Amino acid sequence: MIKHFLNFEWKQFFRSSYWQKSIALNILMGFLALYFMLTFLVLGISIYPILKKQFPESDPLIMVNGFLFYWFLGDLVMRFFMQKLPVLNIKPLLILPLKRSSILNYVLGKSAISFFNFLPLFAIIPFGVILIFEDYSTTTALIWMLLMYIFTLIINFLNFIIEAKSAETELSFLPIIAIASGLFALNHFEIISISTALGNAVNTIISNPLLIIIPILVLVGLYAINYLELKKKLYVDGSLKAKADVATTTDLAWTRRFGDIAPFLQLDLKLLWRNKRPRSSLFIVVIGLLYGLIFYPNPTYQNIPAMFVFVGIFVTGIFMINFGQFIPAWDSGYYKLLMSQNIKYKQYLNSKYSLMTISAVIMFVLSIPYVYFGWKILAIHFAAMVYNIGVNSHVLLYGGSFNRKKIDLTQRAAFNYQGTGAVQWIIGFPLLLIPILFFYVPYKFINFEAGIITLIILGGIGIVFHQKLMNFITKQYLNSKHKMISAFDQNN
């Protein structure tokens, strides 16, 4: 049975058009994976000698155990954003002569062999081996390694429970942020010293190997919770089927003043509001707006305005990036209609551009209160807005012409938690990082104002040449039109 499942997985992966178009991205992902593996390897090898040298009188193992809390917390948050729940199109399997339990065990078991569970091993094993070569007993080292791996799996399954719960409640990533920052705060302000407690627990288990049964039981328990949760959802009238919402009709008459792009603008606004996936990008806006509060009050960043450029681009562009990344995949479900209806491609793209521009202006206006932290911040936000409108929006639209991944808007969140993998995050980096460079170079060699002006000029150039750029982008879309249609027709 497992053999068939694995075979399906393999085929689904290699036969999707996504794989075929994005070899370059896959290579990039490969390098990134390699980079992380090396980083963990170096960490695993070097941490013992470093700790020994810095704190000669402490036991490195006990010190490492004291820091495990932060590792686990970071791991949990990272997984939430990067790791997808194992998605298998379960519906066709339901009526086949398969035991439900084997479908479930497969889905859950598959998650255990994820890259995220292998990565920590690159640090755990070298450290453990070094322990053996130092004066620790072999049992201690082996138990420690085993324990770390059990913890990794615990985090793996814990993450799925959190993901499932947040998807059900439509709160997107608010719960994970709340949990993580709550735990961190409790620990940081020493209300409950979780890191010490966890360190002590690990130390106790190492000295009494039999106690390892406790984390194993926790792991089994989490697996069982996942199993039961999924089992409830394995019915076509359960979460595999969409509930019918009561439709609300809205007029959105005010969009009329945008002229011939008005119908598309209305369509996009309805798209955002009436579908779960895009709606979450509206909630992200709130998070993005508050993002500045992490940096601006903090004195350590006061003399690094380049950091503020990052925040400025992020705050004014968060909606743009979130929404823009998936152009035109948002419309993938009815792309054939758009392509055969009385629509000029340019109009369609212009509507998306307008939406992104409007969002950047609104975000800038909403971020004006940050002027409390100094006029420079307002200037940076303004420059970032202009840059976003002039440069990033066009880059996003251009990037969209390479989009071959369908978004199924009707899909409920049940087996489709994040829908995006690390790829989307990687695409986001240049949008956020390149403007920092454009700011930093003139700032370093001339002054702050020069950096701001550079960003504004670059954005201004983009705005001035908007028509020309749009013609070019439209051409790209026209060239890849047929490829997009056929990719959006595929189900995976």
Partner 1 sequence: MIKSTELSKKYGNVTVLNIPTLEIPKGQSFGLVGNNGAGKTTYFNLLLDLIKPTTGNVLNNEIQVNKSEDWKPFTAAFIDESFLIGYLTPEEYFYFIGELRGMNKADIDTFLSQFKEIFNDEIIGKKKYLRDLSKGNQKKAGIVAALIGNPEVVILDEPFANLDPTTQIRLKKLLKELTVKNKTTLLVSSHDLGHVTEVCERIVVLDKGVIVKDLETSEETLKELEAYFSV
Among the listed residues 27, 13, 18, 26, the one whose alpha carbon sits nearest the alpha carbon of residue 404: 18
Tell me if 440 sits within 8 A of 305, measured CB to CB. no
| Site pattern 437..466 for partner 1 (x: CB under 8 A) | ------------------------------
* Selected binder of partner 1 within 342, 375, 429, 445 (CB under 8 A): 342
Amino acid identity of residue 177, one-letter, is I
Q: Which is nearer to partner 1, 149 or 258 (CB)?
A: 258
Q: Is 491 in the site for partner 1 (CB under 8 A)?
A: no
Q: How many residues bind partner 1 (CB under 8 A)?
A: 34
Using CA atoms, how far apart are residues 484 and 400, in angstroms rounded to an integer? 10
- Candidates 333, 419, 428, 442: give the one binding partner 1 (CB under 8 A): 333
Instruction: Pick between residue 96 and residue 246 the one whose CB is nearest to partner 1.
Output: 246
For residue 188, state whether it binds partner 1 (rule: CB under 8 A): no
Candidate list 91, 336, 444, 475; residue touching partner 1; CB under 8 A: 336
Smallest gap from residue 15 Cβ to partner 1 (A):
15
User: Least CB distance from residue 266 to partner 1, whole Å?
Assistant: 8
Our finding on whether 303 is near partner 1 (CB under 8 A) is no
Tell me if 47 sits within 8 A of 126, measured CB to CB.
Answer: no
23 binds partner 1 (CB under 8 A): no
| CB-CB contact of 319 with 285 (8 Å) | yes
Rounded CA-CA distance 99/76 in Å is 31
Task: Give the Å distances, CA to CA, from 468 to 155, 248, 372, 457, 471.
Answer: 50, 39, 39, 17, 5
Compute the C-alpha angle 273/341/392, nearest 5°: 55
- For position 426 contacting partner 1 by CB under 8 A, the verdict is no
CA-to-CA separations, 420 to 117, 287, 325, 440, 445, in angstroms, rounded: 19, 19, 11, 31, 40
Residues 89-118 that bind partner 1 (CB under 8 A): none
d(CA 408, CA 158): 26
Which positions from 138 through 157 interact with partner 1, judged by CB under 8 A?
none
Nearer to partner 1, 220 or 478 (CB): 478
Q: Could you tell me which stretch among 38-46, 151-159, 355-363, 478-486 binds partner 1 (CB under 8 A)?
A: 478-486
With beta carbons less than 8 A apart as the criterion, state whether 206 and 147 touch: yes
Give the one residue of 24, 53, 246, 299 binding partner 1; rule: CB under 8 A: 246
Verify binding: residue 298, partner 1, rule CB under 8 A: no
Q: Look at residues 466, 463, 438, 464 and name the one whose alpha carbon lies nearest to residue 452.
A: 438
Nearer to partner 1, 187 or 403 (CB): 403
What single string gives the DSSP state of each residue in 64-130?
HHHHHHHHHHHHHHHHHHHPPP-----HHHHTSS--HHHHHHHHHHHHHTSHHHHTTHHHHHHHHHH
Residue 345 found at the interface with partner 1 (CB under 8 A): yes
Site string for partner 1, 225-244 (x = CB under 8 A): -----------------x-x
Residues 255-284 that bind partner 1 (CB under 8 A): 262-263, 266-267, 270-271, 274-275
Nearest to 318 by CA among 371, 243, 396, 255: 396
User: Binding mask 406-425 vs partner 1 (x if CB under 8 A, - otherwise)?
Assistant: ---xx---------------
- Measured from the CB atom, the residue of 188 and 344 that comes closer to partner 1 is 344
Residues within the interface to partner 1 (CB under 8 A): 242, 244-249, 262-263, 266-267, 270-271, 274-275, 333-337, 339-345, 409-410, 481-482, 485-486, 489
